[in-house]
Amino acid sequence: MRNLVTGGAGFVGSHLVDRLMQAGEEVICLDNYFTGRKANVSQWLGHPRFELIRHDVTDPIRLEVDRIWHLACPASPVHYQHNPIKTAKTSFLGTLNMLGLSRRVGARLLLASTSEVYGDPEVHPQPESYRGCVNTIGIRSCYDEGKRIAETLCFDYRRMHGLEIRVARIFNTYGPRMLPNDGRVVSNFIVQALRGEPLTLYGDGSQTRSFCYVDDLVEGLIRLMNGSHTGPINLGNPGEFTIRQLAELVKGRINPALELIEKPLPQDDPLQRQPVIELAKSELGWQPTVPLQQGLDPTIAHFRELLAQEASA
Ligand code: NAD
Ligand code: UDP
């Protein structure tokens, strides 16, 4: 199989690239390096089955591929709010361009959508049938609505042109290769704790998230792409934690003496989030295997190494 992984130098994308390369497939990794790093895929540079292309998905591109894993889009609120108009363009034009490519070459396309399509949910936990509660004009809308229109485009291409699409609704995922300045909660807490700084709870920390380890997510994406279920399908770990509980877990592993400090809760921050994964279980035979308590350890080890490298540079 000739695979195109957009956003392949990013956090999730680079783990997916590893899995595809290890399976003996051909991989074209495409990225504009906004939040991705060449270092995440440097282990494959020079490999005969691997190619790396610097390209922005808002511009069309012609490539001969069989499968398109469309992940290109900043995922951390800090990064996607940095230039919200660009984020909306990435989701809309980027997905349009990838669907156009898909149609031209007859490739199957998997869209990395998100639990953010559920917004600040009034239904808990969230099944795929829930249509969401998204503020169309808030600071998260560029991302949330961007992914919603991306899903819409996928299904319209399927209806109009018979395209083979797969839509994954990914819930909060963490693991090695997140950037220290990523801004998402797991990386923030670990980096703060390793630097001996207080952990920043936004609001009182009673909001919840459900955290999936990256290896579990990648397994789910691969099963979705290879299977016959179009989706949308939730991929996430149903283990739900308050943000305060997460802070306590991180602190307990690194330095129990650290303080927790409260900072203002950002606008439209969802109060609670937990996936219903019955569909993934029945259609893909998939469920997460790594609980948060276990997945934090390799993630902490990754940041420890990164900070040590920074200190010695
Ligand atoms: P990430 O920011 O690490 O990776 C995104 C990658 O896309 C980066 O390498 C970035 O440089 C690249 N990119 C961004 N805009 C681009 C553009 N216009 N053209 C080309 N490349 C571009 O984020 P991630 O956590 O790896 O997320 C990957 C995908 O999964 C995203 O689509 C995200 O929306 C989705 N997702 C992730 C999570 C999560 O918790 N990690 C949750 C839900 C959905
Ligand atoms: N959060 C926090 N401290 C931080 C970063 C994030 O309390 O340093 C909170 C944030 O307000 C949200 C949750 O943690 O309620 C998850 O945030 P993240 O940005 O990781 O993901 P998302 O909000 O997109 O699910």
Q: Is there a contact between 270 and 207 (Cβ–Cβ < 8 Å)?
A: yes
Question: Would residue 196 count as lying in a domain?
Answer: no
Distance 259 CA to ligand 1 centre (A): 31
Question: Given a cut of 90, is residue 190 above it in pLDDT?
Answer: yes
Question: Given a cut of 90, is residue 218 above it in pLDDT?
Answer: yes
- Calculate ∠ Cα 249-252-253, nearest 5°: 90
Pure H helices in 140-291? 141-161, 185-194, 214-226, 243-254, 278-284
Question: Would residue 209 count as lying in a domain?
Answer: no
| Residue range 262-270: mean pLDDT, rounded | 96
Question: Would residue 243 count as lying in a domain?
Answer: no
Question: Given a cut of 90, is residue 220 above it in pLDDT?
Answer: yes
Tell me the pairing of strands 67-70 and 108-114.
parallel
Measured CA to CA, the distance from residue 21 to residue 108 in angstroms comes to 18
Q: Please report, in angstroms and rounded to a whole number, the separation of the first and last CA atoms in the chain.
A: 40
User: Which CATH number is 45's domain given?
Assistant: 3.40.50.720
Number of domains in the chain: 1
Q: What is the pLDDT of residue 311?
A: 86
Question: Would residue 190 count as lying in a domain?
Answer: no
pLDDT more than 90, % of the chain: 98
pLDDT more than 70, % of the chain: 100
Catalytic residue among 80, 118, 130, 143: 143
Q: Give the ligand 1 atom nearest the CA of 31.
A: 21
| Residue range 53-70: mean pLDDT, rounded | 98
Structural domain harbouring 123: 2-173+214-237+272-289
Question: Given a cut of 90, is residue 312 above it in pLDDT?
Answer: no
Q: Is the beta carbon of 250 within 6 A of some atom in ligand 2?
A: no
Question: Would residue 252 count as lying in a domain?
Answer: no
Distance 10 CA to ligand 1 centre (A): 6
Q: How confident is the model at residue 27 (pLDDT cuts 50, 70, 90)?
A: very high
259, HSE (Cβ side, Cα atoms, 13 Å): 5
Tokens of 154: 């996928």
List, in order, residues 6 or more apart from 292 with CB less than 8 Å away.
Answer: 211, 213, 237, 239, 241, 246, 249
Q: Is 15 helix (H, G, I), strand (E, B) or coil?
A: helix
Question: Would residue 144 count as lying in a domain?
Answer: yes
Q: What is the pLDDT of residue 132?
A: 97
Question: Given a cut of 90, is residue 273 above it in pLDDT?
Answer: yes
Q: What is the pLDDT of residue 135?
A: 96
Q: Is there a contact between 143 and 266 (Cβ–Cβ < 8 Å)?
A: no
Q: Is there a contact between 55 and 85 (Cβ–Cβ < 8 Å)?
A: no
Question: What's the pTM?
Answer: 0.98
Cα torsion angle, 67, 173, 232, 139, sign: negative
176, HSE (Cβ side, Cα atoms, 13 Å): 15
Question: Would residue 165 count as lying in a domain?
Answer: yes
Question: Would residue 249 count as lying in a domain?
Answer: no
Q: Is there a contact between 227 and 167 (Cβ–Cβ < 8 Å)?
A: no
CB atoms closer than 10 angstroms to residue 160 = 9
Identity of residue 234:
N
Minimal-distance CA residue to ligand 1 atom 19: 56
| Extended beta strands in the chain, E state | 2-6, 26-31, 50-54, 67-70, 108-114, 165-170, 173-174, 199-202, 208-210, 212-213, 233-235, 240-242, 260-263
For the chain, the C-alpha Rg in angstroms (whole number) is 19
Question: Given a cut of 90, is residue 39 above it in pLDDT?
Answer: yes
Measured CA to CA, the distance from residue 202 to residue 269 in angstroms comes to 9
Question: Given a cut of 90, is residue 199 above it in pLDDT?
Answer: yes
Minimal-distance CA residue to ligand 2 atom 3: 201
| Residue range 66-73: mean pLDDT, rounded | 98
Distance 177 CA to ligand 1 centre (A): 12
143 flagged as catalytic: yes
